[in-house]
Chains A and B, each alone.
Chain A
Amino acid sequence: MTWLLSLLNWFATGYGVLFVCALAGLIVLARDWRLALPALFIIQVGVAANIELIYKIPAQWATVQTLVLGLCCTMLAVAAVQAQVTQNARQSGGWFFRLLVMGLLALAWRIFGLTIWLPVFSSQTTQLLAWLAVVSILLLSLGDHSLFTGVALLLWCTLAQAVVVVLAPIPELVAFIGLAELLLAFTCSYLLLAENMPAAQPKMVLTDATFPTNGNGLAPVVFNQATAPVSASFPAGREPDPTKRVVTGGSQ
C-alpha cells in the first residue's frame, strides 16, 4: 500500500500535474478509445489525489469519484467493443492537424498571457483545471463521435467535481454529480451503439426468384447424400423419361 500512497502523493507534485496535462493532450492527439479511456481514468485519479492532498478533502469522496468514473469508462469501453469502433472513426483531420491546433492553443495562451483565477485554488491547480477545460472543449470541437464526446463531457465533469468539492463541499452535491456522470456515460454508450447499429433489412421471403444459387454469391443448397431426393440420384443430362415405365423387378 505504501507504493500506492507514494504514487498518489506524486500527483500533487509539479511532475504529477505535468503528467496529467500531458495525458489530457494525448487523448486529443491519439484519438484512440483504447488510450483515451485509461487516460481519462488516470486523469481522474491524479486530479482527485491532487485535490485530496492539497485541499484536505475527505478520502472517501475522492475514492467514490474515482470509482464512478471507472464505471463510466467501463461502460464506454464495453460499448466501443460492441460497436467495433475504429481508430479513424469520424475524426476531424489527422494527428498532425490536432498537434498543430494544440500547439496554436498553447502559443496563444503564452502570448496573450491568459490568466484564469479560481478562488481558493492555487495557481498550479488552476492551471491544471484550465488545461483540462481547454482539452475538453477541443475534444468537443474536433468531431461529434459519441465516445469522444462522452470522454470530453466526463473530463469536464472531472474538473467540475474538483471545483465543487473545494468550493461547496456538500456530500449530496458530490453524489448528484456522480449520478450525472453515470447518466452521461450511459447516454453516450447508447448513442455509440445506436450509431453503429446496422439498419434493419426487410426479411427476404424465399421464392423461385430469390432461391439462393451459386451465381448470386449466396451459399448453394447442399443435399446430404443419405437424405437426397430421388431426382438428385440421376446424373446430369440423364433425367428419367416420364413417358417410359420404370421397371422395378416385380411382375406388372
Chain B
Amino acid sequence: MSAVSGGLNIPTLLLVVLFVMAAAAYVFRAWSQWTALVAAVLTGGMAFLLWRVDLSAPIATLGQFSVDLTIPIQRFGFTLQLNTRALLPIQIAFAMTAVAMLLTAAIPQGDAFVSLALSLLAGYSALLMLTGAPLRPVLVIPLALIILTAVGAIALQAGRPARTGGALRWLVPPVLAFPLFMIANWYAEQIPLNPQDMHPVQMVGALLSLGLLLLMAPVPLHSGQPNAAQIAPPMSTALILSLHQLVLIYLVAETIHTFPMVRDASPFALWFSWAGLVTAIWAGLAAIGANHPGRLWSYTGLYDWGLILLLLTMSGAQGLSLALLLFALRIVNMFTAALGLMTIERHAGGLTPPHLSGLASRMPWTTALFFFGGLGLAGFPLTAGFAGHWAALQAVAQSDWRPAAIVMLASVGIAVGYIRLARLLFEPLTNLQLRRERPLGVITAMAVLLLSVWLALAPQTLSSLVGRAVLTLAR
C-alpha cells in the first residue's frame, strides 16, 4: 500500500538542480572539461528520466511514495507545470544540452560556457513549463526571451576579445517584439466587450503576427547569427541557437492555438512566406562570398530557417509536421557541423583562411564532419537534411511552384560557398606543424557521419518523434 506524498514538485526540482549545477560549474570553471563531463552525465540522466515520464498516468510510484508529476508551482503570479504540450520540447532541450556538454568535455568552449548553458537550459525549460502568468503565457514569453538572449549574448562572446556585433544584434529582436505582444493583450481584452467588432480581432492577429515575425529574426534581423558564428565557440553557437529556436517554434504553435485569429484573420501566412523566401534567397547569396567557415555554416542554417518559416505558413498538420521534421534534422546537422568546426579550431588555432589552408589533408574526417553537417542544412543528397528538404520543397510546390524553385536556386549559392571553402581546405598544406586527427576524434567523426548517413537513408527514424510533437502541438 503506497502512502500519498504528492510533495515532489517537478518544475522546482528541475530548476533548482540546474541552477545549482550552473553555480557549481561557475565556481569550478577552471576545470571546465570536468564540469562539462559532470553536466553531461546529469543532464543526460535528466533527459532519460524525462523521456520515461508518462503524463497520461501522472502519479508515479517511488517505493512507498506516490508522486504527482504534474503538481504546479506558483510564484509572483507565474505558474510552472510539467504538461503534455511542453514535455517533448523539454526532453529535446535536455538531450541537446547533454550532447553539447559531452562534446565540450573533449574540447572546451570557454570557461563559463557550461554554467551559462545550464542557466539557459533552466530558463528555456521554465518558459516551456509556463502555464499561468499575469497575462496569457504566450504574451509573456517574449519578455522572458529578452532575459535569456541577454544571457545567451554573454555566452556567445565567451570572453573573447573580439568584435561584439554578433552578440549585440542577438539582443535586438526580442526587445523590438515584446511591446507588440503587450498591445495585442489590450486588444484581446476588448474582444469580449464587443464581439461584433472585427477591428480588435484583426489588430490582435496583426500585432501577434508581426511580433512573431520579429522574434523569428528573418532577413534583415538575421545578422546576429552569422556575426556570432564567426566569433563565438561553435558548440556555443549551435546550442544557444537551437535552444532559442526550439522555444520559438513552440511559441508560434502555442500562439496560433491560443489566438486562432493569428492564422485566420491576419497576414501571418503572407508575411511569414515572404520573410522565409527572402531569408533563403539572401542566405544563398551571402554564402557565395563567405570566407569564414563559421559564417558559411551560419548562412546555411539561415537558408534552412527560411524554409522552416515557409512551412509554418501551411495550414493543417502537414506544414507543422514538415517544419518539425526539418527542425529535428536541423539540430542533428547543426551539432555535426559544430563538432567539425570546434575540432578544426582547436587543431588549427583559428578559422581564418591562413589557418585553414590545406587542412583537409591532415584532418579529412573532421573536414567531412563539417561538410556533411553544413550541406545537410542545405538538404544535399546523402546528408541528414536531404529527405526533409525534399519533402518540404515538394509540399511547397504543391501550392505554388515558384517559391520552391527560388529556394532551390538559392541552394546553388550555398553550394558555391562550400566549393570555395573546399578549394581552400584541399590546397597544398602551408602549416606543416598541424597535427593529424587523433584516433578518438576519427572514431567520433565516423560515428556521427554514420548517423548522418543513416538519417539520410532512413528519415522515418524520426517519424515517431515528429508525430508525437504534431499530436501535442497541433491539437
Contacts and interface: CB of A to CB of B under 8 A. Distances in A.
Contacts of B165: 144
Interface in B124-183: 134-135, 140, 143-144, 146-147, 150-151, 153-154, 157, 159-165, 167-169, 171-172, 175-176, 178-179, 182-183
B26 interface: no
Interface residues of B, number: 36
Interface in A182-239: 183-184, 186-188, 190-192, 194-195, 197-200
B77 interface: yes
Given A149-B171, A170-B134, A195-B163, A180 B183 contact: no
A190 B186 contact: no
A136 to B, nearest CB: 9
A22 B175 CA distance: 23
B154 A190 contact: yes
A168 B135 CA distance: 9
Contacts of B161: 194-195, 197-200
Contacts of A35: none
Interface size class of A (residues with CB under 8 A): 35 or more
B78 interface: yes
A187 B185 CA distance: 29
Interface in A90-139: 118-120
B179 A159 contact: yes
A14 B222 CA distance: 39
B187 interface: yes
Contacts of B178: 160
A191 B167 CA distance: 8
A153 interface: yes
Given A119-B187, A191-B157, A194-B157, A146 B164 contact: yes
B182 A168 contact: yes
Contacts of B157: 190-191, 194
A194 B160 contact: yes
Contact of A164 (B159, B175, B182): B182
Contacts of A190: 154, 157
Contacts of B172: 140, 149, 153
Contacts of B176: 156
A176 interface: yes
A188 B168 contact: yes
Interface of A: 118-120, 140, 144, 146, 149, 153, 156-157, 159-160, 163-164, 167-168, 170, 172-173, 175-177, 179-180, 183-184, 186-188, 190-192, 194-195, 197-200
Interface of B: 76-78, 134-135, 140, 143-144, 146-147, 150-151, 153-154, 157, 159-165, 167-169, 171-172, 175-176, 178-179, 182-183, 185-187
